[in-house]
Amino acid sequence: MGLIVQKFGGSSVADAHRVKNVARIVTDTYAKGNDVIVVVSAQGDTTDDLIEKAAEISKKPSAREMDMLLCSGEQISIALLAMAIKELGFPAISLLGWQAGFNTSSSYNKARIKKINTERLKEELSKNNIVVVAGFQGINKYDDLTTLGRGGSDTSAVAIAAAMRADRCQIFTDVEGVFTADPRKVKDALKLKEITYDEMLELATLGAQVLNNRSVEMAKKYNVELEVLSSLTNVPGTIVKEVANMEKMLVRGVTKDTDVARVSILNVPDTPGVAFRIFDKLAAKNVNVDIILQSIGRDGTKDITFTTTCDNCDTVKEIIENSEYEDAKVEINTDVAKISVVGAGMETHPGTAAKMFEALYENDINIQMISTSEIKISVLIDKEYADKAVTAVHRAFFPVK
């Protein structure tokens, strides 16, 4: 008995059969006495099809018109879902982003939510309607449509849950929850009952593509209790909240990220300020840098190595080659993978790193770089051994009984 926000992604509403399935989940929740707001994405490949249509017209389509185009995708899915809910005999109404009160910044394609005017949402709930809201979209101060960028529908759902003080925000996906490793790759992977926002953030960043980072950050900020669960099976998922029941579990998960490049800048002068100047230039071009390693200076020069995502490689090369360090040489290696263990418990358990390194050593996997934070340990290894590494490290922390 309360207000539940439920979010369904594009694959969950890909065709009539799946839309009807979602309608059943939603109406089951409503029939139990809850108020329900449903946030949906565009059906299946709709967004990609629309992007393709734009590409046929223009190589660099106007950002405003792109948002106008893409917003039609969720419009279709909310109308169909509202029809399907009514078909089951329940009251429903669909609302576009602007009708649901999503006021955003003016920047097209990646707008930020500024405010949700909840008047219409409350009015429809007071009429006992199940409210179906178009995710991913809003309206700016010019009365023009905007989209929130990648993972925008998750953000829409969490934002509504925060603005409406919902009791829970359920994110339905095609997996049953958050696992200790990718269940498609590691057969012993365990589903977590609970996880903290911070752990979820580390897992999201590290490539466990369950929840969009921005939505987890927002959930943390407004203390929205999230649940990640499957739209295909009727079992409890994983709860994401501020303090999770630790269950004596040191580590929450083992992840793999292969969208990573190791960049080495060789032969830069071994003088103060060099690292600052290089990373300042990189930051100015929005190059996010992860693990950083600096060699001990020798013969007046040193090497700086760091990791970044693959799409930044060209920018990095250009920046360094046009810098004041004429002797500097850039080496880029994309045949690497980052393996991480994440868990809020590890900061009080010094043995975690050692256990991870041991598992890798026993499998003859060489560690190229290491990075640690309070709740994670990441290592860079040869991409070839990525899956083997995940399995080995996972088994070290989650022994098969």
Residues near a copy of itself (CB under 8 A): 15-16, 19-20, 50, 53-54, 56-58, 61-62, 64-66, 68-69, 71-73, 75-76, 78-80, 82-84, 86-87, 93-94, 96, 99, 120, 143-145
Cβ-based nearer residue to a copy of itself, 152 or 253 = 152
Tokens of 265: 């800048």
Give the pairing type, strands 336-342 and 253-257. Answer: antiparallel
Q: Residues 114, 115, 116, CA angle at the centre, nearest 5°? A: 140
CB atoms within 10 A of CB 332: 15
State the number of CA atoms in the 13 A half-sphere of 122 facing the CB.
7
Q: What is the dihedral of CA 32, 36, 41, 45, to 10 degrees?
A: 30
Cβ-based nearer residue to a copy of itself, 212 or 231 = 231
241: left (phi over 0), alpha (psi -120 to 50) or beta: beta
Cβ-based nearer residue to a copy of itself, 98 or 197 = 98
Cβ-based nearer residue to a copy of itself, 20 or 122 = 20
Give the pairing type, strands 226-230 and 238-241. Answer: antiparallel
Cβ-based nearer residue to a copy of itself, 9 or 101 = 101
Nearest distance in Å: CB 128, a copy of itself: 16
Nearest distance in Å: CB 81, a copy of itself: 9
C-alpha distances (whole Å) from 153 to each of 14, 67, 114, 364 are: 15, 14, 15, 42
Nearest distance in Å: CB 62, a copy of itself: 5
Nearest distance in Å: CB 137, a copy of itself: 11
Cβ-based nearer residue to a copy of itself, 89 or 350 = 89
Tokens of 126: 């007071």
Nearest distance in Å: CB 17, a copy of itself: 9
Nearest distance in Å: CB 232, a copy of itself: 19
